[in-house]
Amino acid sequence: MKEYKKLLLSNKAWASERLELDPTYFDNLSKEQNPLFLWIGCADSRVPAEEITHADPGDIFVHRNVANMVVHTDINLLSVLQYAVEVLEVKHIIVCGHYNCGGVKAAMTNHDFGLINKWLRNIKEVYEKHYTDLHEIADETARFNRLVELNVAEQIQNLAKTTIVQKAWEKRKFPHLHGWVFDIHHGEIKEVLNINAGEWTSPVFHYDF
């Protein structure tokens, strides 16, 4: 059997199971979505948002890219952010990284990875910013894990600089921002940074991108 057909068969089984539990499930699912959460996560196949949070379809609006980045030139990300905040009016935005992240690990090297070098540059800037503190950590794995955490925290700060989030804070006092890291070895999520509406201040940034 071709591998992709297993996915189609699994889909049929999943749909049947849902209907057995609730005959109105797909009627309700087809109505307008009203998620409370926007999830900005890593594209890594081992970190599915709904699976690791035990959420149902419709609970989380999801955007994923390499190493869960919030980049001011990424129109895809900004379009998702604007729709989630201004149309869906999500109450929470979660940036979720994970330990053993290939994108973060690659950014800690000087290797040439081709096209993705341009994307990794954004993580390398986080690495450079915290280089001294990171290299006070002797254990290489612990240093790697700490950069994963710092990268998540930096992306939360990038969210706070956006006009989309700042205008929503002024108008509705939300969304709240949450930086998480998924421990891929144990299955649990660690909170790294939370910023509630009105708590973030900067003498430099007001309406950045």
Per the structure block, which two tokens stand in for 129?
Answer: 């910013």
128: enclosing H helix or E strand = helix 117-129
The secondary element (H helix, E strand) that includes residue 190 is strand 188-195
Amino acid at 15: A
Which H/E stretch holds residue 181?
Answer: strand 176-183
Active-site residue (options: 63, 96, 98, 178): 98
Q: Tell me the C-alpha distance between 162 and 77, whole Å.
A: 12
Residues 88, 199: Cα–Cα separation, whole Å: 23
Residue 98 falls in the annotated catalytic set: yes
Q: Is the dihedral of CA 44, 47, 49, 55 positive or negative?
A: positive
Considering the candidates 22, 46, 121, 133, report the single residue annotated as catalytic.
46
- 46 among known catalytic residues: yes
d(C-alpha 92, C-alpha 47), whole Å = 19
Per residue, the 3-state secondary structure of 13-50, as one string, reads HHHHHHHHHCCCHHHHHCCCCCCCEEEEEECCCCCCHH
Active-site annotation holder among 18, 22, 27, 42 = 42
- The residue from 63, 96, 101, 178 that is catalytic is 101
Q: Is 42 a catalytic residue?
A: yes
Residue positions annotated with a catalytic role:
42, 44, 46, 98, 101
